[in-house]
């Protein structure tokens, strides 16, 4: 219960932070024009929002599964679909693997995600995976590297199994990023995941997972990136520590990513529960689209 | 101001939701909702009581009857179970503290392939549920204390 209360307080701070920030910020919009000059003023374009500019170091809102510190512009949105194919790449001979088109013939855990910018720096979203887990998440990007040496985002999420009717797993943490000029970015993301064990706490030694997401996105060609993540954990640590790497192509508002992972997890609760623990790797992909 | 009030409401909702995240043990233990991973609870709910599913209490037979090994009544139960060699499998302890996988008590209740004789309770069921077995396993894994 102490852990839950501490978690609640931290989440309260997270939720309050944007409110405090907005209270301190100067008014962004110009004063309303007087009657009679409204039509000319209304025709003027809105002030340029730097959050809408393409960021070559952080072209997307996630690396593979871990969030980046890219800001989603106010009232804009983005969509992502994830696939993690179920065929272990090490199963059988290379011929067998080729016959199965490297896993594409097998079933997959599919995720659908939509996120929306509520206010400057604050986004909320929903992510559902085909094992009927639904995750609600929010992220407030406090700093960007435009005015600080690092980017900083505060993240809170909760996922629930059986279409959010069972086994709830809240998580809070921060995403710290360091952009490497225009050649990519590296990430460190300490996260606390509560109730990561689906059994009652009376029956388990650890009911929570503390994990540190480590991620990188390196730009190797003008629109081509190499991505990777590794997530060491402590506390409740079933399976193996999540690891993934992949290749990503950015085309306009789309991002196409082919990845290889040691598990199927895409939500914070799933990542806390680790990979399959069978020393297997699986093919997967992410496709995302920005609506701005 | 409205945003701050909204933030407080959302924070309160998140706090309430977070505090209620843990699964309830009673949801797992089915016909014995009061079962906990303590010896006194296991003795009361499993050894001494026939539960609502019809699973028979152990002391129906293990009550000092000279033809049935193990007397699980009252104060006899703990020493008859914990650290005591099995009659059917003398190489195994009935309850090996800290080691549920090598406790013959668990093998007999789960009906493992290496048991001698019938799975318990005898008569072909109802048997203990998976949730009830998790509680028993947890008590053994914790060292099988006499608590």
- Residue A24: is its pLDDT beyond 90? no
Long-range contacts of A148-155 (CB under 8 A, 24+ apart): A149/A178, A150/A176, A150/A177, A150/A178, A151/A58, A151/A69, A151/A175, A151/A176, A151/A177, A151/A178, A151/A179, A151/A185, A152/A69, A152/A176, A152/A177, A153/A67, A153/A68, A153/A69, A153/A177, A154/A14, A154/A17, A155/A67, A155/A189, A155/A191
Going by pLDDT thresholds of 50, 70 and 90, the confidence category of residue A26 is very low
Greatest mean pLDDT among A17-31, A99-113, A180-194, B49-63: A180-194
Mean pLDDT of A96-112: 90
For chain A, say whether B91 makes contact (Cβ under 8 Å).
Answer: no
Mean pLDDT of B61-76: 90
Chain B (14-33) residues lying within 8 Å, Cβ to Cβ, of chain A? 14-25, 27-28
- When scoring B8, B21, B138, B142 by the number of chain A Cβ atoms within 10 A, the one with the most, hence best to mutate, is B21
Going by pLDDT thresholds of 50, 70 and 90, the confidence category of residue B47 is very high
For chain B, say whether A12 makes contact (Cβ under 8 Å).
Answer: yes
**Which residue does chain B place closest to A208, by CA atoms?**
B22
Fold of A53-291: Porin (2.40.160)
**Which residue does chain A place closest to B138, by CA atoms?**
A203
Domain ranges of chain A: 53-291
The pLDDT assigned to A43 comes to 53
| Contacts for A172 with CB less than 8 Å, ≥ 6 apart | A7, A10, A11, A14, A154, A155, A156, A157, A191, A192
Mean pLDDT of B71-92: 92
Q: What's the mean pLDDT when you consider all of chain A?
A: 86
| pTM for the model | 0.79
- When scoring A19, A155, A170 by the number of chain B Cβ atoms within 10 A, the one with the most, hence best to mutate, is A19
CA distance B90 to chain A (A): 29
% of chain A residues with pLDDT over 90: 68
Please state, in angstroms and rounded to a whole number, the distance separating the CA atoms of residues B96 and B110: 16
> How much is the ipTM here?
0.77
List Cα–Cα distances, B76 to A140, B65, B71, B81, B92, in angstroms.
61, 13, 6, 9, 20
- When scoring B4, B5, B14, B36 by the number of chain A Cβ atoms within 10 A, the one with the most, hence best to mutate, is B14
For chain A, say whether B4 makes contact (Cβ under 8 Å).
Answer: yes
Domain ranges of chain B: 26-141
- Residue B14: is its pLDDT beyond 70? no
């Amino acid at each position: 219960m102490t852990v839950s209360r501490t978690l609640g307080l931290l989440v309260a701070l997270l939720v309050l932070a944007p409110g405090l920030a907005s209270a301190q910020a100067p008014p962004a919009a110009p004063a309303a024009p007087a009657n009679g000059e409204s039509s000319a003023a209304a025709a003027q374009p809105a002030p340029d929002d730097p959050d809408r500019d393409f960021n070559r170091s952080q072209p997307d809102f996630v690396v593979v599964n871990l969030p980046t510190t890219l800001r989603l512009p106010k009232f804009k949105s983005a969509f992502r679909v994830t696939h993690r194919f179920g065929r272990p790449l090490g199963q059988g001979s290379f011929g067998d693997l080729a016959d199965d088109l490297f896993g594409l013939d097998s079933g997959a855990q599919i995720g659908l995600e939509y996120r929306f910018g509520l206010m400057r720096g604050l986004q909320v979203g929903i992510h559902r995976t085909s094992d009927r887990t639904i995750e609600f998440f929010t992220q407030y990007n406090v700093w960007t590297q435009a005015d600080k040496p690092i980017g900083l985002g505060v993240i809170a999420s909760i996922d629930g199994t059986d279409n959010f009717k069972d086994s709830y797993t809240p998580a809070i943490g921060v995403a710290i990023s360091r952009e490497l000029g225009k050649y990519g970015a590296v990430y460190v993301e300490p996260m606390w995941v509560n109730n990561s064990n689906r059994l009652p706490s009376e029956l388990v030694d650890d009911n929570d997972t503390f994990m540190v997401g480590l991620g990188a996105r390196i730009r190797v060609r003008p629109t081509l990136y190499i991505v990777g993540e590794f997530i060491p954990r402590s506390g409740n640590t079933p399976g193996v520590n999540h690891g993934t790497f992949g290749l990503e192509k950015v085309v306009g508002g789309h991002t196409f990513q082919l990845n290889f992972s040691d598990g199927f997890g895409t939500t914070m609760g799933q990542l806390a529960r680790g990979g399959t623990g069978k020393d297997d790797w699986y093919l997967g992909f992410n496709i995302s689209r920005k609506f701005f | 101001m409205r945003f701050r009030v909204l933030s407080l409401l959302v924070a309160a909702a998140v706090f309430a939701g977070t505090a209620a995240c843990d699964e309830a043990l009673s949801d797992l233990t089915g016909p014995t909702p009061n079962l906990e991973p303590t010896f006194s609870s296991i003795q009361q709910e499993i050894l001494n009581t026939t539960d609502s599913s019809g699973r028979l209490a152990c002391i129906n037979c293990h009550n000092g009857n000279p033809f049935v090994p193990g007397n699980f009544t009252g104060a006899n139960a703990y020493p008859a179970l914990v650290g005591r060699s099995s009659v059917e499998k003398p190489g195994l302890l009935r309850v090996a503290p800290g080691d549920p996988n090598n406790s013959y008590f668990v093998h007999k209740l789960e009906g493992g392939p290496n048991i001698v004789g019938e799975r318990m309770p005898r008569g072909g069921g109802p048997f203990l549920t998976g949730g009830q077995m998790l509680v028993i396993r947890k008590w053994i894994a914790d060292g099988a204390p006499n608590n």
